[in-house]
Structure 1
């Protein structure tokens, strides 16, 4: 049986080489359609807020149980086959489907290339693929900021958290986490429809990301030192600004990235034409530009490698 850290490295290698398959049969895409189906069945049109919360909570519980049972059942079935490495291969594939560093990097790189070419309208369009804010009036700095914030914050839920839960409970727990995160991305909005129905999805995601986000913050600081960015400032900004983020976890990724690159994230965003201010992360020692997107991507990949390295070293210590 292959050690779990090597399986995680195998999943990371697959993602680096192949990326995330863009197909409607991707497990996460299938899960998303299943969540939408259950939402249509369970959403209490015209019901009370309490009923919306209860039905949304039932949806979350059902999806989490199904996701975990599917992964565990698949592994149990494969273990019955006369193939010694079958369960290891399935574990690698399941974790591979749960992580998305290459897709995250590509999204940032696409925006970087468009900004470098001066094609701001196309860059705005690509920003709209990865964020929910209005993009029609973004200037170059705002487009780059959106890309950097996305890369930083999604390092937690697209890379470190799946690795963390894989380390805790193998592929089934990583799949459960991915299901929770998918529900949050679909239901965890503070609008009239989802404020109560999606509240449990948002809370579960916050709880599951609590430890991975803080691990990510520390790893971002270490990555900044290793890559020659300002690691000391990354640590200072992490300590100073992380708690100011509207998300209980997002600041632990965005703040050290802002500090490492000497830029300021956060500020004014527009959603459906309404102005919203998000707490600043970092100091504006430099104007944000396209090149900082590449810095965020380098930090993201370095954080992933550091986590896998520490995971491997911890396993050696644990079993020796």
Structure 2
């Protein structure tokens, strides 16, 4: 990706427009295609794990090849059209505005003392049961969602876009989408979703370890608790079942001097998650706005760092994608 303006332009487009409903979005198309292929491979292969592997790598290949073809065709017509196509695909791989807007919706409902609305709003961004959550648990759910989604929805796509261009960003987005569809440890997807879950862990490994320290830096710039953030990240970051999700969640918990994790319910079944951070402050609605400030600044710092890394990689090795 030779044009240094493409990554910032993509991020600005996301901040300006987010994910417009009804707009033909590549990520939604990936999800629909994945569901179709799941039915097909389950029908044709007796081994659930093998069917899942075939589904995953077929989707990964399509998600890489089609953007590459569209960009190459656009470049053939005019170099600027190629840059516009590249910008579009990177823009659709990022979800910063939606992440911030959804969490603000939860805050607004709590600020209005409308618990029922807040439960509905937070239910749109978490997988746990929300019908009976009280205010502190709604706040916790919202904070855990933004902490976990920072890498998946923002910094990892930026990382891969900076290093490998729009095709690599879309490949990452397909990996993350399949994990969200199939990466469940239940009877339906434990075997079928094995490859999708492992690939997501692998893809997020480096971005998560670059993002979490930047979150600590953001908390320092914004006047929160950076030393606590770093200490909690080191202490609790590996407690989470995911090898990546706990890093940013624990760094966020430390920055806000709160505790995340605990008991959640999924379809009425309790699930204990490791506790991250210390309960020095109560879980109040205003913490959602504080978290959004940290998430936003971390995203900006990440884009600057990754853009610099991408330029170094390009100068040393050239453009591969």
Name the TM-score class by shorter chain: over 0.9
In structure 1, the partner of 2:319 is none
Shift of 1:25: 2.5
Q: Does 1:75 align with 2:74?
A: no
Among 191, 200, 214, the alignment partner of 2:195 is 200
Distance 2:98 2:66 in 1: 25
Distance 2:86 2:210 in 1: 23
In structure 2, the partner of 1:161 is 156
Distance 1:239 1:44 in 2: 45
Seen in structure 2, the aligned counterparts of structure 1 residues 128 and 303 have a Cα distance that, compared at 3 Å, is same
Aligned pairs for 1:217-296 (under 5 A) are 217-296=212-291
Distance 2:308 2:194 in 1: 38
Seen in structure 2, the aligned counterparts of structure 1 residues 59 and 152 have a Cα distance that, compared at 3 Å, is same
Seen in structure 2, the aligned counterparts of structure 1 residues 54 and 297 have a Cα distance that, compared at 3 Å, is same
Structure 1 window deviating more from structure 2 (57-66 vs 24-33): it is: 24-33
Among 103, 121, 126, the alignment partner of 2:116 is 121
With the length of structure 2 as denominator, give the TM-score of the two structures.
Answer: 0.94
Structure 2 stretches lacking a partner, 5+ long:
317-321
With the length of structure 1 as denominator, give the TM-score of the two structures.
Answer: 0.95
Aligned pairs for 1:68-217 (under 5 A) are 68-81=64-77, 83-217=78-212
RMSD value over aligned CA atoms?
1.7
Q: Secondary structure at the match of 1:286?
A: coil
Aligned pairs, number:
315
Provide, for residues 234-293 of structure 1, a one-character-per-residue CA deviation record: whole Å limited to 9, x for no partner.
000000000001111001110010000001000110111111110011000001111111
Among 290, 295, 302, the alignment partner of 1:300 is 295
Structure 1 stretches lacking a partner, 5+ long:
none
Structure 1 window deviating more from structure 2 (289-298 vs 20-29): it is: 20-29
Answer yes or no: is the 8 Å Cα contact 2:163–2:306 preserved in 1: no
Shift of 1:311: 3.1
In structure 2, the partner of 1:37 is 36
Shift of 1:87: 1.2
Provide, for residues 193-225 of structure 1, a one-character-per-residue CA deviation record: whole Å limited to 9, x for no partner.
101001111110110001111111111011010
Seen in structure 2, the aligned counterparts of structure 1 residues 307 and 195 have a Cα distance that, compared at 3 Å, is same
Among 52, 56, 59, the alignment partner of 1:56 is 52
Distance 2:23 2:191 in 1: 29
Q: Secondary structure at the match of 1:94?
A: helix
Q: Secondary structure at the match of 2:130?
A: coil
Q: Secondary structure at the match of 1:130?
A: coil
Shift of 1:137: 1.3
